[in-house]
Structure 1
């Protein structure tokens, strides 16, 4: 801001010195003063160049510093949002908020508000000097200005609308590309390449049209500014020439005014564009701050640490809905003592995975209470709570990087020896060592270079490594071959002896040894008991069991 004032003060200095040179030193042939004033102009030019360099560098440095901190703040917020937010927000849209929209905020600093203030101060300084020199010549020169103001307003509104469409089109493009690259296997498997390409072309066409509309506005506006400048210069020369001939205006003033007008129009050309940049930055900032201000977070106000958690679980009349009043879990009540194994079975969509999601506080329940070791979930510090719950999901996600990093999740407190010990426990060590680089083998995005079964085994090692008090297995053996399943089952039998375990499985043969089996249907508990007890009741569980074994016999 200080440099904007310096630039505003320096801008009219050189034209004034040229006026002085023409009217006094050249007219009176003062060679010595001519040399001095020329040197002063060179010094001023160098000084203005230096100031402009620092102004440009510092404004861009400020913008980059702001967006660096802002990106960290947005990412920090994103990782704290609950899963309900991600259920209703496309990943591509969040990517746009974190990358493109924050980049637009950078433009507010590098090309927006500070540059606008600098240009306005320069315009005020130049107008003040022009009015001081000759107010009549100034008014004649600036008489086309109302046309310029009107043209600037039309340009600003037109470009603003186009830029809004551009931002929306960018978000749509990002969301489409991210989603379809992630799901490319589905696109190719169903030969949907042409159909999806047609959709992409339509979105891309909207993006192009929005940009072309903005380009059209620029193409019209800048020639209009040049025409208005030419009219201003023409009026100044027409009126000023008469005054020069009558010795009412000096030649130096005429030369200086030509420079003043060019200096005046230079920022005016860009002012409307900078206002649009500022406006787009404000629109982008609204979107970014909408993420930052989002209340879709899991409240982390608990102080209780889960260091000595035993693993006692108590659900008491729990109700949960992804959408308000549309409950997917209704009146869920059950208990698990430390060291017990609880199995949850039911048809697809019955709410099995939802139960483990709310136990981990990935979602907040609407009614009832969930307690671990007699303490409400909300009273635990979130990170401490989740550190004691190990999860192996059916859909395993692996990050780009080494197998070792995927197992430890970059936790430097975990040694390689611990990783190898956990891998040996489930028979994964030999497989990993056969890969190029062993534990340093680079896994591609989402673990695409490994089979689904291998990814699940790595996920299993990852869960065991944190020595959880509660172990959750969500269809953990669904994609494992018979030999691998035997290895995992052996490891599970050893591990769950001292841990509370919740096992979700479609294959009932894997849960027959569970201490308690919970049968879910449409979000409600229909039956609860041991394998033998539920078979004797000949209810829901009995039917599921009979259907599975009938299918198995039919296959055989």
Structure 2
């Protein structure tokens, strides 16, 4: 399904709101477009209608005018069969009005010669005896039309008020509907990000993902609020205008229809060029966001190693590329924007002048002044929606490119989220001949096989890159295995959903992550099933309460992004308490003591001795002194288990573990001697 169809599917979820908005828009435009028709009626019937033939009547009537003691009524005010008296004509010559006491044979160019009105048309000339009207006498002929003009003016005012009311209603309804669509898209894309496999985040900078969720969805918002609103308004407006033009003059309206294919070709050509520029602009903006995010997180390193100039140059390179493509898009918009609209508008008026000037204006005109006025008004109005649509073409293309980027993210394979509850594990874990590769053909684990019984503590040691963390990633199903099996209580973990698998597992990472909130919320993660008493107990068990009690607000002490106001040891204690508060059957400590000082490490070791009872614990550690009491130690080298046993067994073997332990003890003794 293409981008447009997917956006349309989102809009369909709120179709009632959109339909209501479009109906209100139609009513508003219809009310607004009646203005020229009302003006045409006022001009032709009430203002220029004075030049119609007047007939003498017997006495005063509502629609009659008094002149030289007699009453006269205009021809279009007579009822069928009503008796008409002597005719007269009111003729305007320049700014003055004259009365001719008879009908005229033809109309044409008018002039005054020797007190007579002279009318010329196609070589024929005829003079009529005429009396010049005073201002009051002229008003007397207009007086019967005043009430009709006032009614039309009131009608127009009422329609303007109605149009303003429905314009407000349609704008509010369409924009609210658009906001609902964007709210739904943002919810969906953020929810999908929670389901995307961990491997996706390994290859995508956080800044780029943030850009898609924020900047790109904001661009889609502009599509619904501004672009589609302008296009809907323009289409309905043009439909109304062309309907009115066909009612006024079919030939000129047909000529004006040429505008539509020009507009379509215009949009197609514009999008062809703008699409390339917008893809570059959005991609570069995403790179800029990623670079800024990375720079902020790595600012201590940048400043410590004096890399400010190089980082600034890297940013300026991307910023210059962004600027270049923005300028190219601006040039395209300048060439195909307002200037092209102005050209089309002038061409339309040339057609209008040619049509009326060559065929209708002047002597013997068959087109009324009211029709001419209405045509000019509608032609002017026609280019307002065209300009509006053209001005939104850049926004349209940006929004479609942004939508494409958002949907690419949403098309990433995601995990099915289940709410099923399973019984707590006993904690028996078995790895059966596991071989695993992050990159095809480059295995990081080879034939890994071991068994951890309920309540045991299993330690994984080895040099960096030996595969320790990979084993835990597979146990948590951050990555899925393709060769071998992992069993928990005899059940294959691949038969469980990832949510079910992780229900009774806890993990503490080497680099603890704290969320913005409070210390208490970081332990419970706002899980309503974890009470404040449980939070406090978990913090007490890991030995964190002494430093928490010294904080001004204790458990409610605010934690800013990543807990930067706390020491690494304090952050690790809170992270450890978080895992314990969830009371996991299987607990994983991924080098959890690497960032903790010796005194804090001793506190954690004391807590572990109590808490690991009845719980299977996996420890990934560089400090071998912290795993001396482990029930089983697995020594890994290049993805294979090369030694296994408890601390004493491995020391007796005097193999790789023995060498690592002696090396670390030697370093420790050396440090103590120096201190």
TM-score category, normalised to shorter length: over 0.9
Q: Is the 8 A contact 1:116 1:275 kept in 2?
A: no
Q: Is the 8 A contact 2:466 2:637 kept in 1?
A: yes
Q: Is the 8 A contact 1:393 1:475 kept in 2?
A: yes
- Tell me the residue number matched to 1:328: 444
- Tell me the residue number matched to 1:94: 209
Among residues 15, 18, 23, which one is paired with 1:2 in the alignment?
Answer: 23
- Tell me the residue number matched to 2:479: 363
Worse overlay, 241-250 or 307-316: 241-250
- Once the two structures are superposed, residues 203-236 of structure 1 have per-residue CA deviations (whole angstroms, 9 ceiling, x without a partner) of 1222222223333333332133224323432442
- Tell me the residue number matched to 2:645: 529
Instruction: Give, in whole Å, the separation in 2 of the partners of 1:362 and 1:98.
Output: 23
- 1:413 corresponds to 2:529: yes
- Once the two structures are superposed, residues 338-363 of structure 1 have per-residue CA deviations (whole angstroms, 9 ceiling, x without a partner) of 01110000000111111112211222
Q: Is the 8 A contact 1:141 1:236 kept in 2?
A: no
- 1:312 corresponds to 2:409: no
Per the TM alignment, residue 364 of structure 1 is displaced from its structure 2 partner at its CA by 1.3
Per the TM alignment, residue 254 of structure 1 is displaced from its structure 2 partner at its CA by 1.5
Per the TM alignment, residue 135 of structure 1 is displaced from its structure 2 partner at its CA by 3.0
Per the TM alignment, residue 437 of structure 1 is displaced from its structure 2 partner at its CA by 0.9
- The structure-2 alpha-carbon separation of the partners of 1:144 and 1:503, relative to structure 1 and needing over 3 Å to count, comes to closer
- Once the two structures are superposed, residues 137-164 of structure 1 have per-residue CA deviations (whole angstroms, 9 ceiling, x without a partner) of 4456677887766655554444443322
Per the TM alignment, residue 322 of structure 1 is displaced from its structure 2 partner at its CA by 2.1
Per the TM alignment, residue 275 of structure 1 is displaced from its structure 2 partner at its CA by 4.5
- The structure-2 alpha-carbon separation of the partners of 1:550 and 1:90, relative to structure 1 and needing over 3 Å to count, comes to same
Instruction: Give, in whole Å, the separation in 2 of the partners of 1:532 and 1:176.
Output: 50
Instruction: Give, in whole Å, the separation in 1 of the partners of 2:629 and 2:259.
Output: 90
- Tell me the residue number matched to 1:106: 221
Unaligned ranges ≥5, structure 2? 1-21, 50-141
Per the TM alignment, residue 534 of structure 1 is displaced from its structure 2 partner at its CA by 2.0
Instruction: Give, in whole Å, the separation in 2 of the partners of 1:388 and 1:139.
Output: 74
**1 or 2, which has the higher strand percentage?**
2
Instruction: Give, in whole Å, the separation in 1 of the partners of 2:659 and 2:502.
Output: 35
Q: Is the 8 A contact 1:322 1:328 kept in 2?
A: yes
Question: 3-state SS of the aligned residue for 2:589?
Answer: strand
- Tell me how many residue pairs correspond in the alignment: 554
Instruction: Give, in whole Å, the separation in 2 of the partners of 1:126 and 1:483.
Output: 82
Per the TM alignment, residue 314 of structure 1 is displaced from its structure 2 partner at its CA by 0.6
- 1:547 corresponds to 2:568: no
Among residues 29, 32, 42, which one is paired with 1:21 in the alignment?
Answer: 42
Instruction: Give, in whole Å, the separation in 2 of the partners of 1:191 and 1:473.
Output: 35
Worse overlay, 434-443 or 104-113: 104-113
Instruction: Give, in whole Å, the separation in 1 of the partners of 2:491 and 2:256.
Output: 80
Worse overlay, 513-522 or 357-366: 357-366
Instruction: Give, in whole Å, the separation in 2 of the partners of 1:60 and 1:459.
Output: 44
What value does the CA root-mean-square deviation take over the aligned residues?
2.4
- Tell me the residue number matched to 2:382: 264
Worse overlay, 15-24 or 376-385: 376-385
- Once the two structures are superposed, residues 57-76 of structure 1 have per-residue CA deviations (whole angstroms, 9 ceiling, x without a partner) of 11111111011122111111
- Tell me the residue number matched to 1:53: 168
- Tell me the residue number matched to 2:85: none
- Tell me the residue number matched to 1:480: 596
Unaligned ranges ≥5, structure 1? none
Among residues 190, 193, 196, which one is paired with 1:75 in the alignment?
Answer: 190
Q: Is the 8 A contact 2:211 2:286 kept in 1?
A: yes
Among residues 600, 604, 609, which one is paired with 1:493 in the alignment?
Answer: 609
- Tell me the residue number matched to 2:319: 204
- Tell me the residue number matched to 1:379: 495
TM-score between the two structures when normalised by the length of structure 2: 0.77
- The structure-2 alpha-carbon separation of the partners of 1:248 and 1:141, relative to structure 1 and needing over 3 Å to count, comes to farther
Instruction: Give, in whole Å, the separation in 2 of the partners of 1:475 and 1:152.
Output: 59
Instruction: Give, in whole Å, the separation in 2 of the partners of 1:519 and 1:282.
Output: 53
Q: Is the 8 A contact 2:418 2:500 kept in 1?
A: no
- Tell me the residue number matched to 1:292: 410
1:375-454 correspondence runs (5 A): 375-454=491-570
TM-score between the two structures when normalised by the length of structure 1: 0.93
1:29-68 correspondence runs (5 A): 29=142, 30-68=145-183
- 1:175 corresponds to 2:298: no
- Tell me the residue number matched to 1:193: 308
- The structure-2 alpha-carbon separation of the partners of 1:155 and 1:293, relative to structure 1 and needing over 3 Å to count, comes to closer
Instruction: Give, in whole Å, the separation in 2 of the partners of 1:80 and 1:431.
Output: 36
Q: Is the 8 A contact 2:275 2:401 kept in 1?
A: no
Instruction: Give, in whole Å, the separation in 2 of the partners of 1:33 and 1:300.
Output: 71
Q: Is the 8 A contact 1:319 1:331 kept in 2?
A: yes
Per the TM alignment, residue 121 of structure 1 is displaced from its structure 2 partner at its CA by 3.0
Higher relative contact order (CA 8 A, sep 6+): 1
- Tell me the residue number matched to 2:3: none
Among residues 400, 421, 435, which one is paired with 1:282 in the alignment?
Answer: 400
